Amino acid sequence: MVKKLKLNGPVVLVRGAGEQATGVGWTLAKAGFRVVMTEVPKPLMVRWPVCFGTAVVKGSWQVEGIAAHLVSETETCASVWEDGAIPILIDPELQCLARLKPTFLVDGILAKRNIGTRRDMAQLTIGLGPGFTAGDDVDLVIETKRGHDLGRLIYTGPAQPNTGIPGNIGGYTKERVVYSQQAGVFRAKRIIGEEVQAGECLGIIDDGLNSQEVAGSIDGVLRGLLLDGTPIDAAVKVGDIDPRGKKEYCYTISEKARAIGAAVLLGIMESNLLNPISLKAE
């Protein structure tokens, strides 16, 4: 019998519910915190099977045994927490902040810049990756660049600057990521988890006048692909090919997201803001 999570810890508000933010939300929910996540009305999620933000599209979604439910008001959060799940609010402007009064706030949007997070939004504010400066706009920055310093806690200064080059997986960096060449509506032609070869059509972008095929440049397993019908701009990430060829990696949280989630949990534990609380499963 699977034990129900007991979410009775302090409230943690996570901005964004994409891949890396989901690693944070999943970790903190496992630790018993009352996690609430916010998203935009039409989120861009390439690895949507492992994103709690998929609940925005589908109403509810589950990642590795933890469910997320789209809610329309903050008053519903309590009942979702009682069910051991994570509420998702469409609230990019954080209008919910005054009502939720989170002890901790994590900006997991990964926009490579700060788009509105302030230190006074919670007792401890945490920014993921470049765009934040610890001691200035947030209290703590978590390094998100793959490599030796991934997950490092930074209490003074910024994370490493954005290089624009995707992290190395299986010997490939920018070659494994597929970008749009024009704006339009993305139409998926393949399914996440499928084996694909270089040059194969993964989807079509239709701008109403012209349709353009989107193809990968390496062989591997399709680890990520935008949901069919997603409106996009030019130069947007639409797909992710994993040269390691492990289909199971498509449906589980990545090592990067797990490392970032663990780092956020450590930062919270080091903050001395926690009262003795029960974090045990019922």
Report the CATH number of the 11-163+254-269 domain.
3.40.50
Total number of residues shown for the chain: 282
Residue 164: predicted pLDDT = 82
Query: In whole angstroms, what is the distance from residue 21 CA to residue 12 CA?
Result: 12
Q: What residue spans in the chain does CATH classification 2.40.50.100 cover?
A: 174-243
Residue 276: predicted pLDDT = 53
Report the CATH number of the 174-243 domain.
2.40.50.100
Query: In whole angstroms, what is the distance from residue 189 CA to residue 81 CA?
Result: 37
DSSP 8-state assignment for residue 215:
E
Query: In whole angstroms, what is the distance from residue 38 CA to residue 91 CA?
Result: 6
φ, ψ of residue 251 to 5 degrees: the values are -120, 10
Q: Which distant-in-sequence residues (6+ apart) come within 8 Å of 260 by Cβ?
A: 20, 23, 24, 128, 142, 144, 150, 151
CA atoms within 13 A on the CB side of 262: 10
Q: Which distant-in-sequence residues (6+ apart) come within 8 Å of 141 by Cβ?
A: 126, 127, 128, 129, 132, 133, 134, 153, 154, 157, 158, 159
Query: In whole angstroms, what is the distance from residue 172 CA to residue 221 CA?
Result: 13
Distances (CA, A) of 17 to 69, 83, 173, 196, 242: 12, 19, 24, 27, 22
Distances (CA, A) of 165 to 121, 146, 170: 32, 11, 15
Residue 274: predicted pLDDT = 85
The pTM assigned to this predicted structure is: 0.93
- Please check whether residue 220 is in contact with residue 242, taking contact to mean a CB–CB distance below 8 angstroms: yes
Residue 268: predicted pLDDT = 97
Write out residues in the chain with pLDDT < 50, as ranges: 277-282
Query: 257 is written with which tokens?
Result: 């997201």
Distances (CA, A) of 251 to 74, 186, 202: 29, 21, 19
- Please check whether residue 13 is in contact with residue 39, taking contact to mean a CB–CB distance below 8 angstroms: no
Residue 281: predicted pLDDT = 41
Q: What residue spans in the chain does CATH classification 3.40.50 cover?
A: 11-163+254-269
Sheet with 230-232, strands from edge to edge, namely 211-215, 201-206, 184-188, 230-232
- Please check whether residue 166 is in contact with residue 176, taking contact to mean a CB–CB distance below 8 angstroms: yes
Query: 48 is written with which tokens?
Result: 């949507």
User: Tens digits of per-residue pLDDT, 194-207?
Assistant: 999 999 999 999 99
- Burial of residue 41, with CB atoms counted within 10 A of its CB: 0-12 exposed, 13-18 middle, 19 or more buried: exposed
Residue 2: predicted pLDDT = 57
Query: 144 is written with which tokens?
Result: 């998100």
